[in-house]
Chains A and B, each alone.
Chain A
Amino acid sequence: GENVEQHPSTLSVQEGDSAVIKCTYSDSASNYFPWYKQELGKRPQLIIDIRSNVGEKKDQRIAVTLNKTAKHFSLHITETQPEDSAVYFCAAKEAGTASKLTFGTGTRLQVTL
């Protein structure tokens, strides 16, 4: 089955700086890569996703890049704000499975003033 590794496990940045979180996956057949944000005490929510036929996707201050050859994808947050502080999870969906996602272990992002 799929295996997703996520780094770093914790990340501290100053407000206004950029943050990058990286994930690698093992199954070259995986075709969908979402990112979820979980604020303290809240449920995970989708913030951005990318499919395997696209190399980059952007939504305001967040972007995701995908390198299929190297089997890794990254989340980029620019101009970080205190409300970006949360745990971020990457995930990969195996082709042919009923939307079954394999999640990374999470990155705790702390944005300091």
Chain B
Amino acid sequence: DVKVTQSSRYLVKRTGEKVFLECVQDMDHENMFWYRQDPGLGLRLIYFSYDVKMKEKGDIPEGYSVSREKKERFSLILESASTNQTSMYLCASSLWQGSGDTQYFGPGTRLTVL
């Protein structure tokens, strides 16, 4: 069974703080993704990575950065958190294109920025 875990289920931070969200998968997947989920807006892709140290911008990368130093771990960084980054953040992973496209999601981190 694929397991995708995220470092926190709930997180409360203050405006201007640097925030790290971590995601770990145990199935040797090449691809990893960060989404944010907001009511009425669905799942919007922030960044994704198809290999160690590789990253690609998604649809809403502004205000975020990512790091992938190891294959199993993908971190989302909010350099200076703002209240409009209050959201549910979901991580996902999948095998390389051609081997299967199913994305497996983590449980999510609900981030509140005060």
Contacts and interface: CB of A to CB of B under 8 A. Distances in A.
B44 A34 contact: no
A103 B43 CA distance: 6
Interface residues of B, number: 27
- Contact residue range for chain A? 20 to 34
A45 interface: yes
DSSP class of B's interface residues: helix, strand, loop or mixed? Answer: loop
A46 B97 CA distance: 17
Contacts of A102: 45, 59
A74 B35 CA distance: 23
A58 interface: no
B86 to A, nearest CB: 18
Interface in B81-95: 90, 94-95
A24 interface: no
Contact of B48 (A32, A100, A104, A106): A100
A46 B103 contact: yes
A39 B101 CA distance: 21
B101 A93 contact: yes
Contact of B96 (A42, A43, A98): A98
Given A43-B106, A98-B96, A99-B31, A6 B42 contact: yes
Interface of B: 30-31, 33, 35, 40-45, 48, 50, 56, 58-59, 90, 94-97, 101-103, 105-108
